[in-house]
Amino acid sequence: MATAYWSSVFTSSADQIWAHVRRFNDLPDWHPAIRTSEIIGGGNGLTPGAIRVLTGVDGSVYRERLVGLDDADRKLSYEIVEAPLPVRGYRSTLRVQPVADTGGAFLSWHATFEPAEGTTAQEATAVLEAAYAPALAGLHTIIA
C-alpha cells in the first residue's frame, strides 16, 4: 500500500477551516483545478454514502464517495470510485486540528492507494501531492 500526504497551517481557527472542508460538494470553491461538483446520489453531501462527480478545468471527470464525516473530530474521509489517476483502491482523509499556541489550524490530507499498473508508487504519490498542494493553497485564499 502506498501513501500520499500534504498539510498546511492556517491562521484561521480549526472551526473556520472545518466549515469549508466538511462540505463534500464544495471542493470547486477552493480547489483551482476543479470546475464543478455535483452530488448524484447517496445523500446530500453531508452523509456517508454521498457520491459526487467532479469535473476538472481540463474536462477530466472524477467520481468519489463520502465514506465518513466526523464533526467532533473534524475529519472527512472519501474514496475514489472512478478517476483518471494512476491509482486504485484510493481512500483519503482530511483532518483539521487546532493549533494550541496560535489559535490557528493544522490541516492534513492523507491517502492510501495502490499504484495503477505500469505506475510506481513514487509516480502516483507525486501526481496526488501535486493536486493537494494547490487545493490547500486555494483554501488559504478563500479563508484570508
Extract the runs of DSSP E, i.e. beta strands, from the chain.
2-10, 34-41, 51-56, 61-70, 75-82, 87-98, 105-115
pLDDT at 57: 97
Q: What percent of the chain has pLDDT over 90?
A: 96
| pTM, entire model | 0.94
What's the rounded Cα separation, in Å, for the pair 96 and 18?
A: 6
Work out the percent of the chain whose per-residue pLDDT is above 70: 99
Residue 138 has pLDDT above 90, yes or no: yes
Residue, of 43 and 62, whose pLDDT is higher: 62
In this predicted structure, what is the pLDDT of residue 44?
87
Q: Identity (one letter) of the amino acid at 134?
A: P
Q: How many helices (H) and strands (E) does the chain have?
A: 2, 7
Overall CATH class of domain 2-143: alpha beta
Q: How far apart are the first and last CA of the chain?
A: 36
- Per residue in 45-102, pLDDT (tens digit) is 899 999 999 999 999 999 999 999 999 999 999 999 999 999 999 999 999 999 999 9
72-87 core/surface letters (b: 16 or more CB in 10 A; e: else): eebbbbbbbeebebbb
| Cα radius of gyration rounded to whole Å, the chain | 15
**Residue extents of the structural domains in the chain:** 2-143
Check pLDDT > 90 for residue 43.
no
